[in-house]
Amino acid sequence: MCRRNVLKKFQLFDAADSSLDPVSGQTSVSQLDFITYEISIDSSVDAVLEVQYCNDEVFNAANVKSLDFGAPIDLNGAVDTDYTIHIDNMGFKWLLLKITNNAGTGDVSAWITGNVRGA
């Protein structure tokens, strides 16, 4: 019998000030196949979001790297205020979010969920 692993939705940012370049805490995702981030921003936010990872057994901030999605993930409240990012886990141990402000202001809220391929 297989054990099903699920990461229930929990909040990483709760109205974090985007002008302060917030970084979320790390989340262990090693037992998950699929990870989803839900991001909600104020209409005045203008920032870039990075999904970062660390594959060390024990999280080490010195070894954090950014995932390459082929293009920056722009958080632009003038265009959209809700974003969803789906990630297939390719062996990542830890994931976290980093926001770098461009010129906007406003708050960012973010949640993470995850699950495995099947039961």
Stated pTM of the model: 0.92
Of residues 118 and 64, which shows the higher confidence score?
Answer: 64
Helix, strand or coil, per DSSP, at residue 37: strand
Angle CA 40–46–103, to nearest 5: 145
Asked, for residue 94, whether it belongs to a domain, the answer is: yes
Comparing 1-5, 40-44, 45-49, the range with the smallest average pLDDT is 1-5
Domain around 48: 6-115
Looking at the structure of the chain, the number of domains it has is 1
Asked, for residue 12, whether it belongs to a domain, the answer is: yes
Asked, for residue 48, whether it belongs to a domain, the answer is: yes
pLDDT digits (tens, 9 = 90+) for 53-73: 999 999 999 999 999 999 999
Asked, for residue 26, whether it belongs to a domain, the answer is: yes
State both tokens at 18: 């985007």
Asked, for residue 90, whether it belongs to a domain, the answer is: yes
**What does residue 113 show for φ and ψ, rounded to 5 degrees?**
-140, 165
Asked, for residue 1, whether it belongs to a domain, the answer is: no
pLDDT of 1 above 50: no
